[in-house]
Amino acid sequence: MANGTDYYAVLGVSSSATADEIKKQYRRLAKQYHPDANQNDPKAAERFKEISEAHNVLGDAEKRKQYDDMRRLGAFGGVGFGGGRASARPGAGARPGTGQPGAGTFTDFDVGGIGGLGDLFSSMFGGAAGARGARARGTEKGQTVEQTVEVPFRTAATGGQVPVALEVNEECAVCRGNGAAPGARIKPCGECSGRGVISFGQGSFAVNRPCPVCMGRGSVPTERCGTCRGTGEARVRRTVNITVPAGAETGTKVRLRGQGGKGTAGAQAGDLVITFTVLPDRFYSRDGLDLIATVPINIAQATLGSKVSVKTLDGKKVAIRIPAGTSAGRRFRVTGQGIEKDGRKGDLLVEITIAVPETLTEAQEKAMRDFAEATGMKY
């Protein structure tokens, strides 16, 4: 589709034709123009090729949808949004051999506020065209750096900062990003004739991609930089302090604009995306905004009742009255002593466990036996 061909016209069907109608028409035309049946007609082979290309797109539901989207955006010079304005790189003015203006390679059209075709290609091909558009013009936004960071439980609960060591690509300090050795000359790239882009086909579609030789710069040095080997970038390690928001959980992400890789030729730096993994705590666990603290008591405390002291998240102590006959697993709620997030605050849940001694002194064992006999328990 880089040549701007109207595939519906090639097959001689309307844009509302059904899949069966397209298939039937393709078979009829393929039989008519097949090279084996037209060995003395060299134009038949070219016609057969066009028919096959058109069917390859229109005969596939997903490709047809993408093609129709581009067709509606006026990608065929007068079809679709006739009022949209279009601007293309050199060489995009006419289809070779046809003399049809506006039917060339449509790379960076502006269709009046809808967005360039680079945006459309971006959605079709995973962002390749849109994300690399800046690079094709000699500049490129810095890389987005993603990293998983382990955060202590209490830092995640209350908020704080953690240091993070990162490895990112930054502009080479020796060549300052142009990839040239000191004293080397810069000349136009022979592969892309200095445009910085080459045409790249994907199925029946074509887009412009950064030239792999000059990496989108449009020029190459007579001698490459020995430090970065001509890439213009160097891998560096740096440490940044990341602010952990209060109430962060495992999977929480934060994006720091401009803290990723450095852009080339003065372009904007990339972003740093941090995903938190919250480490377990020896005392607390979490249920939403509620904190759960497990507190062990002995058999006598559980049987007779007692009072225990528990630390809150901010280091203060609260007293909990344990009533007689408390069983393991029972919880006591301390209101407002949980995790605070977005104006809401959870509670502290104190969960009781019964600690059974592994060994007893003679006096303790006698007391337990007396207790068992008094209750009629057999052992």
pLDDT digits (tens, 9 = 90+) for 21-53: 999 998 888 888 887 788 777 787 788 888 888
Query: Does residue 338 lie within any of the structural domains?
Result: yes
pLDDT on residue 45: 79
Q: What is the CATH number of the domain that holds 1?
A: 1.10.287.110
pLDDT on residue 34: 82
Number of folded domains in the chain? 4
Q: Is the pLDDT of residue 336 over 60?
A: yes
Please state the pTM of the whole predicted model: 0.50
Same domain as 168, residue 38: no
Structure tokens at 162: 């953690």
Higher pLDDT, 168 or 121: 168
CA distance 368 to 363: 9
pLDDT on residue 282: 92
Phi-psi region of 129 (alpha: psi -120 to 50; beta: other; left: phi over 0): alpha
User: 267-279: per-residue pLDDT in tens?
Assistant: 777 888 899 999 9
pLDDT level of residue 75 (50, 70, 90 thresholds): very low
Higher pLDDT, 329 or 45: 329
Give the residue-averaged pLDDT of 329-337. 94
81: phi then psi, degrees, rounded to nearest 5: -85, 85
Are the beta carbons of 85 and 110 closer than 8 angstroms? yes
Structure tokens at 9: 């016209």
Same domain as 321, residue 262: no
pLDDT on residue 238: 81
Domain, as residue range, for 212:
186-221
Q: Is the pLDDT of residue 67 over 50?
A: yes
Average pLDDT taken over every residue of the chain? 77
Q: Is the pLDDT of residue 82 over 70?
A: no
Same domain as 335, residue 305: yes
Same domain as 308, residue 293: yes
First to last CA, the chain: 88
Q: Which of 172, 194, 221 is the last residue of a domain?
A: 221
Q: What is the CATH number of the domain that holds 215?
A: 2.10.230.10
Which of 2-6, 78-82, 227-231 shows the highest mean pLDDT?
227-231
Q: Is the pLDDT of residue 317 over 60?
A: yes
Which of 207-211, 343-347, 358-362 shows the highest mean pLDDT?
343-347
CA dihedral 46, 51, 57, 58 (to 10 degrees): 160
The proportion of the chain whose per-residue pLDDT surpasses 90, expressed as a percent, equals 29
> What pairs with residue 265 in β-bridges?
none
Are the beta carbons of 108 and 117 closer than 8 angstroms? yes
Are the beta carbons of 108 and 89 closer than 8 angstroms? yes
Give the residue-averaged pLDDT of 135-150. 71
Max CA-CA distance within the chain?
Answer: 115
Which of 121-130, 152-161, 175-184 shows the highest mean pLDDT?
152-161
Same domain as 262, residue 350: no
Give the residue-averaged pLDDT of 278-294. 94
Same domain as 252, residue 154: yes
Higher pLDDT, 46 or 309: 309
In DSSP notation, 219-271 reads EEESSB-TTTTTSSEEEEEEEEEEEEPTT--TT-EEEETT-SSPPBTTPPP--
List Cα–Cα distances, 92 to 72, 87, 96, 131, in angstroms: 19, 9, 10, 21
Same domain as 275, residue 154: yes
Buried (b) or exposed (e) across 322-356, using 16+ Cβ within 10 A? beeebeeeeebebeebbbbbeeeebbbbbebeeee
Q: Which of 243, 232, 89, 213 is nearest to 170 (CA)?
A: 232
pLDDT on residue 108: 34
Higher pLDDT, 34 or 251: 251
User: How many Cβ atoms are within 10 Å of 198's Cβ, its own excluded?
Assistant: 18
pLDDT on residue 38: 81
Query: Does residue 322 lie within any of the structural domains?
Result: yes
Are the beta carbons of 105 and 5 closer than 8 angstroms? no
pLDDT on residue 264: 59
Query: Does residue 116 lie within any of the structural domains?
Result: no
Q: Where are the beta strands (DSSP E) in the chain?
A: 145-151, 160-171, 186-188, 197-202, 205-210, 219-221, 233-244, 253-256, 272-278, 284-287, 290-298, 306-311, 317-322, 331-334, 340-341, 344-345, 348-355
Query: Does residue 131 lie within any of the structural domains?
Result: no
Q: What is the CATH number of the domain that holds 354?
A: 2.60.260.20
User: 123-132: per-residue pLDDT in tens?
Assistant: 333 343 334 4
Higher pLDDT, 6 or 94: 6
Give the residue-averaged pLDDT of 198-203. 62
DSSP 37: G
pLDDT on residue 235: 81
Same domain as 365, residue 339: yes
Structure tokens at 349: 């849940």
Query: Does residue 80 lie within any of the structural domains?
Result: yes
Q: Which of 325, 328, 348 is nearest to 336 (CA)?
A: 348
pLDDT level of residue 379 (50, 70, 90 thresholds): low
Structure tokens at 84: 């949209």
User: How many Cβ atoms are within 10 Å of 229's Cβ, its own excluded?
Assistant: 12
pLDDT on residue 113: 32
Same domain as 355, residue 271: no
Same domain as 237, residue 175: yes
Query: Does residue 320 lie within any of the structural domains?
Result: yes
Same domain as 152, residue 43: no
Query: Does residue 120 lie within any of the structural domains?
Result: no
Query: Does residue 294 lie within any of the structural domains?
Result: yes
